[in-house]
Amino acid sequence: MLQGLSKIKMFLSFLSIFTICFFFGYTWNISLDHQGSRNCGCHTCLTDGDLRFRQIVNTAPNPFLSKTHRTTLEEYNWWKKLQYSSYDNSMFNATVDNLFKIFPPIPDVEGPNPGRCVSCAVVGNSGNLLRSHYGPLIDVNDVVIRMNHGRTKGFEEHVGAKTTHHIFYPESANRLENTTRLVLFAFKTKDLLWLINKFKPRVKGERIANKDLVMILNPGFMKYVHQIWLEKKGKYPSTGFMAFILSMYMCDQISVFGFGADSEGNWSHYYEILRNHKLRTGPHPGSHEYGIIQQLGRENKIHFYKGY
């Protein structure tokens, strides 16, 4: 009898050990599978834990033009309507071919991977940056994206001093440091021709940027931002909002500064004296764009700094 009870106890002990080992082994495998499916090596990644958000991000076309990725005819026809041009699709394609005789044929952009953790600051030009003292928070990031006439000299305490990528179109062009990437947002074929002309042989020192660090946004990406993110509100997205969405394809963690109106409701620029208190956002759905950024901040997908 005692021997029988002893065997039963031994069996139950082995069963308990097996159950515990199975449970922890199963949980460990689940954890490994979860870790293996992550898109970056950061503590938290942009698309963690939200399937719908990840699907929206993953539906984007290639963000940049390259020798191997071209704009489709459908995308071109949408883009051409933004600012009417007499140039047709064949002229656009010929111009793109000429671009890659001068600039890198494949943009130097590393895709997400589990071993990478890239932090980015997207810095807009809102007057709400003044008195913010955000400079150190901006410069600590691996990538700092600025746009249009955004400048740092004299404003370093509030906007930082570091710039790795500077986005503009011809009308907002600035001369860049030799180590800063020029990211062109072209709204018409003429803008691409302008870029080519800027890098023709000329007197040394007159070029606006390092030709080996030039990147050109794919017009199809503009269409994607307008239709998917903005649900076709406004005529087309602002440069700042497109820069923000573009950062999702370059970065694993994103901090956003300098977007929206200032504390008095003015859509002003930190580097200008405000003279027009009725200034708004033109053809862009500024309030809607701002609302999207706010919502992503509330959902902790990005770090959003509102300024003052």
Question: HEC string of 270-295?
Answer: CCCCCCCCCCCCCCCCHHHHHHHHHH
Known catalytic residue: 308? no
- Residue 211 sits at φ, ψ, to 5 deg, of -65, -20
pLDDT grade, residue 264 (50/70/90)?
A: confident
CATH homologous superfamily for the domain 40-304: Glycosyl transferase family 29 (3.90.1480.20)
C-alpha to C-alpha distance for 86 and 77, rounded to whole angstroms: 12
Catalytic residue among 134, 224, 236, 270: 236
**The residue count for the chain:** 308
Single out the catalytic residue among 158, 165, 284, 290. Answer: 284
What are the C-alpha distances in Å from 143 to residues 58, 118, 159, 210, 279? Answer: 21, 7, 14, 17, 30
Its pTM stands at 0.84
- The CA distances from residue 176 to 90, 143, 195, 211, 256, in Å, are 31, 16, 14, 11, 22
Dihedral sign of CA atoms 13, 15, 17, 23 in order: negative
Q: What is the pLDDT of residues 117-173, one digit of tens each?
A: 999 999 999 999 999 999 999 999 999 999 999 999 999 999 999 999 999 999 999
Q: What is the pLDDT of residue 110?
A: 80
Confidence of residue 283 (pLDDT cuts 50, 70, 90): low
**Residue 290 falls in the annotated catalytic set:** no
